[in-house]
């Protein structure tokens, strides 16, 4: 007999990010509206009544694993809750000034014009972690069950491959796979509709996509990684409400990259650097790119005399409209970053994540009204997306990231042209095809048409622990904690490849692309060769390894609930 408890719910949301929190809250409101209309005779149909709604979150609290740069377009939250400010939404500052810097190694220029997609005046600078914590409280007050420390580890299907819920991860398994005295089996949360809002490279979204072929006929997803620090700086260094985006140094013209600096209140600055995980040079280290970015004199000036207070890193799904998977199947919907709703040109996904969640909620109301949870009803979600402002925003920029795969200059030309024609120009131009990042990484031995600066790329980079930090110091500031006596949640499917082919072909890029010093090649005295050591307890759950590994043999699965970074206030 199974010792697993089965808990019947109506709707289960996986992940307490902006997409699912907005979805759950909107669902509650829409059901109430629907029922009142039916009861008053303004609408035909049946009353839906109280639904059992659960949100499971792998972090120890809502917001713990939420990392964003922090400029929020309020369009979606205003639709969700028109009086969000009066209701206490913890926005940090209002954007008062935009700037665009083009950087070189030794300096840079303040561009006379800010590209329109990067204009943010009037929008809000937030700690998304705080906003999610607050939305979580709103959900609980509305009667939604939130289960922090509950990673959804597996998707449950019926005999027809319809999704019927999720299994949460077991607790209390030791590193050799044996049960510890505190063992608690995961539970099966059964649901009529399961909504996957796990953010970029969701581990369940990955499972479902593969099993149900949701990416058939779609472009492969491409990702970037954002590496971020929060700094306290002297008051005169950078104004609250100022937003700077940068292009140029330290990225080379064949590598997608750019930085941001956002001025928050109390002299706190959000600073970070995005590197496309479709880079060609296997020697690239996104964490080192960010540290180099801070050494540019214009950037260093902002941080001068300041102190780094927090660190984090996370992947960003950058592919946009053409890389969206099929967003529905029997019993399941995909929202937010897991569904590729981010606008890569604006590097903004908070508003589209929330709106996608709200459209999913409206679809779920229809499903309960008709008591049909199959694709037949859930496909309306896809239609709603394509009829909403999400389509109007994402479709014109559908080729943005793919164009960068041909290099910075052609991409900028391309982007300018599409901006002037609202994407129409792309109707007359050949479609840009995204190539998955892991397929673009060049081999050391090829030395193809790109310049490998083997080992020299970061030759001048020193970690002085004032302006620049090594990964281990940074990881300390991410507040990462995992119980070390548990199986590694980073499954490397064939470590022999690491010691042989990967060492020779790519120089073990996992040691560089991981921003948390998880992967190390360590000398094995017995075998006389370097072998892979996985320091999984450092993992910040960014998913870069799952995305960037050129052999695709790293599988990120959820660790025991509660483990991971602590991004409170990030």
Ligand X SMILES: Cc1cc2nc3c(=O)[nH]c(=O)nc-3n(C[C@H](O)[C@H](O)[C@H](O)COP(=O)(O)OP(=O)(O)OC[C@H]3O[C@@H](n4cnc5c(N)ncnc54)[C@H](O)[C@@H]3O)c2cc1C
The site for ligand X (CB under 6 A) is made up of 14-20, 56-59, 65-72, 128, 151-152, 197-199, 202-204, 226, 228, 272, 314, 316, 336-338, 342, 347-351, 353, 558
- Does residue 535 contact residue 517 with C-beta atoms inside 8 Å? yes
Shortest separation between residue 484's beta carbon and ligand X, angstroms: 20
- Does residue 330 contact residue 374 with C-beta atoms inside 8 Å? yes
Shortest separation between residue 540's beta carbon and ligand X, angstroms: 11
Residue 100's Cβ-side half-sphere holds a number of Cα atoms within 13 Å equal to 13
- In whole angstroms, how far apart are CA 550 and each of 265, 279, 477, 503, 507? 41, 11, 29, 12, 11
Residue whose tokens read 């009667």? 143
Shortest separation between residue 63's beta carbon and ligand X, angstroms: 7
Nearer to ligand X, 120 or 468 (CB): 120
Shortest separation between residue 203's beta carbon and ligand X, angstroms: 5
Q: Name 484's Cβ contacts closer than 8 Å, sequence gap at least 6.
A: 175, 537
Nearest in space to 198 (alpha carbons), one of 463, 478, 477, 541: 541
Q: How far apart are CA 429 and CA 343, in angstroms?
A: 21
Shortest separation between residue 312's beta carbon and ligand X, angstroms: 7
Nearer to ligand X, 228 or 310 (CB): 228
Q: How far apart are CA 485 and CA 174, in angstroms?
A: 5
Dihedral of alpha carbons 307, 267, 262, 388, sign: positive
Shortest separation between residue 449's beta carbon and ligand X, angstroms: 30
**What DSSP string describes 395-430?**
GGGTTHHHHHTT-HHHHHHHHHHHHHTTTTHHHHSP
Nearer to ligand X, 325 or 442 (CB): 325
Nearer to ligand X, 204 or 478 (CB): 204
Shortest separation between residue 325's beta carbon and ligand X, angstroms: 13
- Does residue 16 contact residue 132 with C-beta atoms inside 8 Å? yes
Q: Give the tokens for residue 329.
A: 């199947």
Shortest separation between residue 528's beta carbon and ligand X, angstroms: 40
Shortest separation between residue 244's beta carbon and ligand X, angstroms: 12
Q: How far apart are CA 260 and CA 99, in angstroms?
A: 10
Nearer to ligand X, 69 or 282 (CB): 69
Nearer to ligand X, 139 or 316 (CB): 316
Shortest separation between residue 158's beta carbon and ligand X, angstroms: 20
Nearer to ligand X, 271 or 329 (CB): 271
Nearer to ligand X, 505 or 546 (CB): 546
Nearer to ligand X, 76 or 498 (CB): 76
Nearer to ligand X, 151 or 165 (CB): 151
Within 10 angstroms of residue 394's Cβ, the number of other Cβ atoms is 24
Dihedral of alpha carbons 92, 97, 98, 102, sign: negative
Q: Are strands 242-248 and 97-103 parallel, antiparallel or unpaired?
A: parallel
Q: Give the tokens for residue 496.
A: 């022999």
Shortest separation between residue 429's beta carbon and ligand X, angstroms: 28
Nearer to ligand X, 390 or 499 (CB): 390
Within 10 angstroms of residue 147's Cβ, the number of other Cβ atoms is 19
Q: Give the tokens for residue 102.
A: 């083009």
The sheet that has 145-147: what strands, in order across it? 145-147, 53-56, 11-14, 193-196, 332-334, 328-329
Residue whose tokens read 């207070």? 309
């Amino acid at each position: 007999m199974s010792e697993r408890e089965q808990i019947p719910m109506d709707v289960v949301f996986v992940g307490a990010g902006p997409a699912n929190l907005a979805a759950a809250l909107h669902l509650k409101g829409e059901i109430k509206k629907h029922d009142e209309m039916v009861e008053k005779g303004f609408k035909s149909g049946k009353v839906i009544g109280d639904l059992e709604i659960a949100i499971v979150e792998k972090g120890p609290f809502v917001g713990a694993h939420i990392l964003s740069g922090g400029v929020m377009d309020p369009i979606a939250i205003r639709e969700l809750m028109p009086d969000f400010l009066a209701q206490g939404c913890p926005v940090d500052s209002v954007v008062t000034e935009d700037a665009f810097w083009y950087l070189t190694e030794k300096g840079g220029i303040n561009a006379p014009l800010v590209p329109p997609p990067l204009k943010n005046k009037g929008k809000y600078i937030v700690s998304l972690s705080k906003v999610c914590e607050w939305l979580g409280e709103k959900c609980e007050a509305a009667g939604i069950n939130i289960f922090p420390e509950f990673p959804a580890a597996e998707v449950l299907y019926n005999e027809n491959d319809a999704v019927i819920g999720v299994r949460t991860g077991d607790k209390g398994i030791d590193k050799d796979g044996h049960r510890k005295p505190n063992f608690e089996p995961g539970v099966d949360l059964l649901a009529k509709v399961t909504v996957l809002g796990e953010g970029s490279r969701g581990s369940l979204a990955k499972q479902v996509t593969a099993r149900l072929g949701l990416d058939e006929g779609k472009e492969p997803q491409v990702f970037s990684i954002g590496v971020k620090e929060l700094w306290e700086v002297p008051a005169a260094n950078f104004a609250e409400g100022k937003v700077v985006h940068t292009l140029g140094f330290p990225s080379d013209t064949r590598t997608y990259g750019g930085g941001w600096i956002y001025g928050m209140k109390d002299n706190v600055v959000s600073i970070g650097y995005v590197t496309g995980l479709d880079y060609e040079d296997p020697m690239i280290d996104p964490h080192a790119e960010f540290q180099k970015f801070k050494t540019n004199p214009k950037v260093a000036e902002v941080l001068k005399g300041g102190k780094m207070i927090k660190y984090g890193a996370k992947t960003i799904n950058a592919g946009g409209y053409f890389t969206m998977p099929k967003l529905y199947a029997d019993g399941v919907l995909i929202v937010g970053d897991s569904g590729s709703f981010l606008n890569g040109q604006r590097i903004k996904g908070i508003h589209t994540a929330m709106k996608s969640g709200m459209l999913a909620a409206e679809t779920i109301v229809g499903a309960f009204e008709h008591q049909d949870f199959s694709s037949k009803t859930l496909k309306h979600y896809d239609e709603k997306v394509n009829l909403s402002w999400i389509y109007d925003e994402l479709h014109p920029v559908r080729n943005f990231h793919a164009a960068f795969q041909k290099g910075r200059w052609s991409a900028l030309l391309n982007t300018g042209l599409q901006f002037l024609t609202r994407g129409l120009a792309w109707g007359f131009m050949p479609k840009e095809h995204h190539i998955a990042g892991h397929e673009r990484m060049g081999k050391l031995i090829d030395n193809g048409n790109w310049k490998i600066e083997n080992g020299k790329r970061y030759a001048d980079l020193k970690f002085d622990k004032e302006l620049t930090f090594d990964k281990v110091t940074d990881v300390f500031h991410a507040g990462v904690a995992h119980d070390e006596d548990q199986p590694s949640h980073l499954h490397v499917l064939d470590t022999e490849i690491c010691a042989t082919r990967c060492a020779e072909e790519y120089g073990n890029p996992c040691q560089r692309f991981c921003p948390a010093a998880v992967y190390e090649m360590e000398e094995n005295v017995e075998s006389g060769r370097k072998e892979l050591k996985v320091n999984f307890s450092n993992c910040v759950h960014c998913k870069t390894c799952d995305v960037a590994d050129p052999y695709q043999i790293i599988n990120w699965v959820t660790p025991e609930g509660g483990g991971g970074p602590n991004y409170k206030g990030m």
